[in-house]
Chains A and B, each alone.
Chain A
């Protein structure tokens, strides 16, 4: 896969506004971005987006690749005096990064805004405001603002992308659309005849706000034989514990957890070893903290592996990922869906209870 092509695709997909609960708004731009990449695509009632690529074989097994579509963001709770908006947190945003942030209010037409802050000349203590005390400054008069924005309007961070040293990318909502971009491009570039199963790539809804929401309905509909859930994983930074984090630039992570399928997880690790894809194993005892925990329990149960892309500054507008790791992830997705060994091992046997 071409590195620059993947980078540009990540930037394009992550620029799309998909604040948790407002995934429907992303439908049109994502259709445009993925035109011609898949055999078919469908949406459902909760905002999931599913892309299908068939392997062309009869009675082929089905594999689901899930990455969540939604991003952290905000929702308008009040149009205040003086042209300000009060907002609530959609997904866990650290209030300490909010003041002075560039945001976009997605009303009838997108409006620029900045989060109000108190200057040092007038500030008296170092306490952070509660999220409900934050205000979006839209620069508009109260009357104009009332015409353009209603309570319930989504607000997102402004998409401003850049790069650090060593091919690290910075910007908003790599969590989790960067993973979605890796999966979409990897599958689109794999010739159908190489696939070991029919592939369903799902960009699932409402992970950030309601983990039992979107993905369960989508996985139920796809009814796969096995699944890979891809989400970002907390990168190791100063002041964090090694066992809770993964090192950046050292490849992807595979979770070992009571909440996912150990056989599939080990098979995926073995695949990485065989294909020289850098990875590390992490322990996530009773929950992966991702959609994997949910997918595993859908329908009759779906054997699921949880894969992570290391990401620093999670849940900010300047999330950091490594292009090297993104390339590793794209390679793993391709090898995973082409692996005849895994497909054979995971194809379900029909068991009659009576």
Chain B
């Protein structure tokens, strides 16, 4: 399968925080030939351990590689008598990308299509036209004639996600919902495949964790890290950037096409400097394009992983992604490949170095 196809399949799956089963099932099947013993933990994290070198050696490197399976989405909180659905967000979504969008609602009978709607522009006064419609004024229309009909299909507490097609466009870019963080999941799968094909030289336990519930506050990775107790963690993510016309260079964070983003600091973590240096050095040595994150913003699973137990040396490698948490996230396949390759090179390097 091509990388694009793998990312398309992962992004198209339904998986808001708390309902990651479909994504996890897809991944488990995808890695079944590499790691048939992948297991779910109590939280729903999918963990696949690959052991290399002398398994009885005392000084083995234990590395946790993590990417989250969940995406931002919605939860139905009201079935109205007119048949429309009230909802709230699961994870951070701007109101400015909600109105008018198509969504998939996972009801009793499976996935169904709906539209996040409000009244038409013809019924809005001047003031109403200047501001995004508040979430509580928006509703999901599934076409139900009334509340009784809607209740046959949907219940309070059901989830929904954006329904937005994947496509490649421009010069090597992809557009999809949920690139955050299905791209990271894809990079983990392809790294596992690469290590299987050409095992690293050294005594290494590579623990690949596909985590849950990152979007609501980094919760799944906490349990996974506690169980694994790694020496080192590599978090594969996407990072929100704004490299677009009209944004001052200082606020752009990073650039699409500029390579994998290595974070020094964000709002949840100050990263392990020797690991950051190793990542940047390896990038140079191996000809992998990398850039340093230029703005203190966002956060990811690293925030909880690095504080686990006695502390974990952590690095985050992110694909710079435009319009994060919208139905139309945009990233470059070249940056994705840089992320995957750099992750692989770090794994190969850390098991043969005493430095870290």
A165-B80 contact, Cβ under 8 Å, with A140-B170, A160-B165: no
* Structural contact, B117 and A312, CB atoms closer than 8 A: yes
Contact A138 B170 (CB under 8 A): yes
B243 touches A82 (CB 8 A): yes
Interface secondary structure of A, over-half rule: loop
Which residue of B has the minimal Cβ distance to A81?
A: B245
Residue of chain A at shortest CB distance from B251: A122
A137 pairs with B145, CB closer than 8 A: no
- Pick from B145, B169, B240, B330: contact of A121, CB below 8 A: B240
Asked whether, in the complex, the Cβ of A314 is within 8 Å of the Cβ of B121, the reply is: yes
Q: CB within 8 Å of B: which of A187-244? A: 234, 237-241, 244
Give every chain B residue within 8 A of A241 (Cβ-Cβ). 123
Contact with A along B105-116 (1 / 0, CB 8 A): 000000011110
For the complex formed, measure the closest distance between the CB of B254 and the CB atoms of chain A, giving whole angstroms: 12
Q: For A117, give its contact among B97, B170, B246 (CB under 8 Å).
A: B97
A153 within 8 A of B: no
User: Contact between B95 and A126 (Cβ–Cβ < 8 Å)?
Assistant: yes
**Bound Cα distance from A238 to B244, whole angstroms:** 37
User: Which of B40-48, B49-57, B124-132, B344-352 interfaces with chain A?
Assistant: B124-132
> Which residues in chain A, 35-89, are within 8 Å of chain B measured between CB atoms?
80-84, 86
Interface residue B119 (Cβ < 8 Å from any Cβ of A): yes
Task: List CB contacts (< 8 Å) of A230-279 with chain B.
Answer: 234, 237-241, 244, 249
Which one of A140, A238, A316 contacts B100 once the chains associate, using CB atoms below 8 Å? A316
- Is A120 touching B325 in the complex (CB atoms < 8 A)? yes
Given A122-B251, A160-B165: A128 in contact with B131 (beta carbons within 8 A): yes
Most chain A CB within a 10 A radius of its CB, from B99, B102, B167, B242: B99
Which of the 9-residue segments A90-98, A292-300, A331-339 touches chain B?
Answer: A90-98
Given A96-B100, A139-B330, A163-B113, residue A80 in contact with residue B245 (CB < 8 A): yes
- Residue B1, interface by CB 8 Å: no
Name the residue of chain A whose CB is nearest to the CB of B133: A96
Chain A residues positioned under 8 Å from B324 (CB to CB): 119-121
* Central interface residue in B123, B124, B130, by most chain A CB within 10 Å: B123
Say yes or no for A135: interface residue by CB 8 A criterion. Answer: yes
Residues of B within 8 A of A163 (CB): 113, 143
What's the nearest-Cβ distance from chain A to residue B328, in Å? 4
Tell me if B20 is interfacial: C-beta within 8 Å of chain A.
Answer: no
Q: Is the CB of A99 within 8 A of B115?
A: no
Residues of B near A15 (CB, < 8 A) are none
Instruction: State which residues 250-296 of B face A: CB under 8 Å.
Output: 251, 253
**In the complex, are the beta carbons of A97 and B99 less than 8 A apart?**
yes
A-contacting residues, B42-100, CB 8 Å: 80, 82, 84, 92-97, 99-100
Q: Assess whether A17 is interfacial by the CB under 8 Å rule.
A: no
A192 to B245, CA, bound (A): 58
A139–B80 Cα distance when bound, in Å, is: 41
Give B298-356 interface residues, CB cut-off 8 Å to A: 298, 322-328, 330
B143 touches A99 (CB 8 A): no
CB distance from A127 to the nearest CB of B (A): 6
A81 contact set on B, CB distance < 8 A: 245
B132 contacts A96, C-beta separation under 8 Å: yes
**Judging by beta carbons under 8 Å apart, are A238 and B84 in contact?**
yes
Residues of B within 8 A of A313 (CB): 100, 115, 117, 120, 141
Most buried by B among A94, A120, A135, A144: A120
| A26 on interface, CB distance cutoff 8 Å | no
User: Any chain B CB within 8 A of the CB of A141?
Assistant: yes
CB distance from B265 to the nearest CB of A (A): 14
Known: A164-B142, A170-B115, A244-B123. A318 touches B240 (CB 8 A): no
Q: Quick check: A102 and B165 within 8 Å, CB to CB? A: yes
Q: Is A133 an interface residue (CB 8 A)?
A: yes
Give the residue name and chain of the B residue nearest to A241 (CB). Answer: B123
- Give the chain B neighbours of A112 by CB distance below 8 A: 167, 169-170, 175
Contact indicator A83/B115 (Cβ below 8 Å): no
Beta-carbon contacts under 8 Å, B123-175 to A: 123-124, 129-133, 137, 139, 141-145, 149, 153, 164-165, 167, 169-173, 175
Bound Cα distance from A249 to B252, whole angstroms? 48
Residues of A within 8 A of B170 (CB): 83, 111-112, 137-140
**Given known contacts A94-B120, A100-B101, A313-B120, what 18 new A-B pairs fall within 8 Å (CB)?**
A80-B245, A96-B131, A96-B133, A99-B94, A112-B169, A114-B175, A117-B96, A127-B131, A128-B130, A164-B113, A164-B115, A166-B144, A166-B145, A170-B102, A237-B118, A312-B120, A315-B120, A318-B115
3 A-B pairs with the lowest CB-CB distances in the bound complex, closest first: A139-B170, A164-B143, A97-B100
